[in-house]
Amino acid sequence: MGKLTDLKQAMGGIPDGALISLGGNTLNRAPMAAVMELARQGKRGLRLVKTAGGMDVDLLCLAGCVESVDAGFISCETEFGLCQNYRRAVQSGAVKAHEHACYTVISALRAASCGIPFMPVRGLKISDLVAVNDYFSPVTDPFTGETLNAVKAIRPDVAILHVQLADEDGNARIEGPVYEDALMARAAKEVILTAERIVGAGFFENAQDKAQIPHFLVRAVVHAPRGAAPGACPGCYGVNGEDIRAFQKLDGAEALTAWLQRRLP
């Protein structure tokens, strides 16, 4: 069954307030084309989940699309620096920052993928994060009595992942680092893929490197060449520093709208 659609349609199906996990890591293979389309469509109240976000989270904050961000780290790393739109939005109270330790995002997604309400973790022994966030809570091992911390499950409504190869049914192959993408695909209620290249039927059947994301988890597939730009996509392209800097200089939502219009796929 063909699931190929366009960005407008695929993002159009995501309601305001949706809980969305974004694939990739910082400026590596983030689903930027999809994120830009969410911003163009003026979504509101989105709740974002990712271990380490960068320009994707920053752009949606500038566009006013975001209610909360569950993440361990939000920055474009050292060369491109802080996500100033995210930072301002949290400081003004417009966006809630739910700080995790990257591993607790992974644990929350693992719990969701196992269909259980929480996951116990070690660590977090002495951290103010436990007291100020209601998604952490002490839990007692019923067998030994040891106290651990539980992390509440996070079951995203949708995982949006950018991949190098996908077929029309939604089988998808990530080349290079997978980050948390395969886990997100299993934790989320459904998956939307953007892909550098759409491969023909039978491609994966004849390959030794199978798809890490199977078709039955996927709702829609979008052909989006350069879909991680201006971030990097391994094997396809590196970062476009000029474009990242141009984005970082935008001084408000109106400037962003014009910038996004110039980047229509």
Partner 1 sequence: MIRPCDMMAVEMARLIRDGETVFHGVSSHLPLIAVLLAKATHAPHAVHLNIPGGVDPESPRLQAFTSAGDDLWETAAAQFPLMDVFDLSMRGGLDVAFLSGVQFDNLGGVNASVIGEYARPKVRLPGGAGSAVLIPTAKRAILWRTKHDRRTFTEKLDFVTARGNVSDIVTPLCSFTMCRGELILKSVHPTSSIEEVAENTGFPIRYLQLAATQPPTDEELRRLGEIDPQDLRSLEFR
Among 4, 103, 237, 263, contact with partner 1 (rule: CB under 8 A): 103
Q: Is residue 59 within a helix (H) or strand (E), and if so which, with residue range?
A: helix 55-62
Nearest to partner 1 of 85, 171 (CB atom): 85
- Residue 122: which region, alpha, beta or left (left: phi > 0; alpha: psi -120 to 50)? beta
Nearest to partner 1 of 121, 172 (CB atom): 121
Using rule CB under 8 A, residue 234 touches partner 1: yes
Tell me, what DSSP letter sits at residue 217? G
Among 72, 214, 225, 265, contact with partner 1 (rule: CB under 8 A): 72
Q: Which range of residues in 122-130, 137-145, 195-203, 216-224 is near partner 1 by CB under 8 A?
A: 122-130
Q: Which range of residues in 20-28, 111-119, 137-145, 206-214 is near partner 1 by CB under 8 A?
A: 20-28
Encoded one letter per residue, x for contact with partner 1 by CB under 8 A and - for no contact, window 126-165 reads: xxxx--x---------------------------------
Nearest to partner 1 of 25, 194 (CB atom): 25
Shortest Å, Cβ 220 to partner 1: 26
Whole-angstrom distance, CA of residue 146 vs CA of residue 205:
48
Tell me, what DSSP letter sits at residue 237? B
The counts of H helices and E strands in the chain are 10, 14
Structural contact between residues 69 and 53, judged by C-beta atoms closer than 8 angstroms: yes
Shortest Å, Cβ 14 to partner 1: 25
Using rule CB under 8 A, residue 178 touches partner 1: yes
Whole-angstrom distance, CA of residue 247 vs CA of residue 59:
8
Whole-angstrom distance, CA of residue 137 vs CA of residue 233:
37
Structural contact between residues 44 and 20, judged by C-beta atoms closer than 8 angstroms: no
Using rule CB under 8 A, residue 4 touches partner 1: no
Residue with tokens 């109270």, as numbered in its chain: 93
Residue with tokens 């209610």, as numbered in its chain: 67
Residues binding partner 1 (CB under 8 A): 25-28, 51-52, 71-80, 82-83, 86-87, 90-91, 93, 96-97, 99-104, 106, 121-129, 132, 176-180, 183, 232, 234-235, 238-239, 241
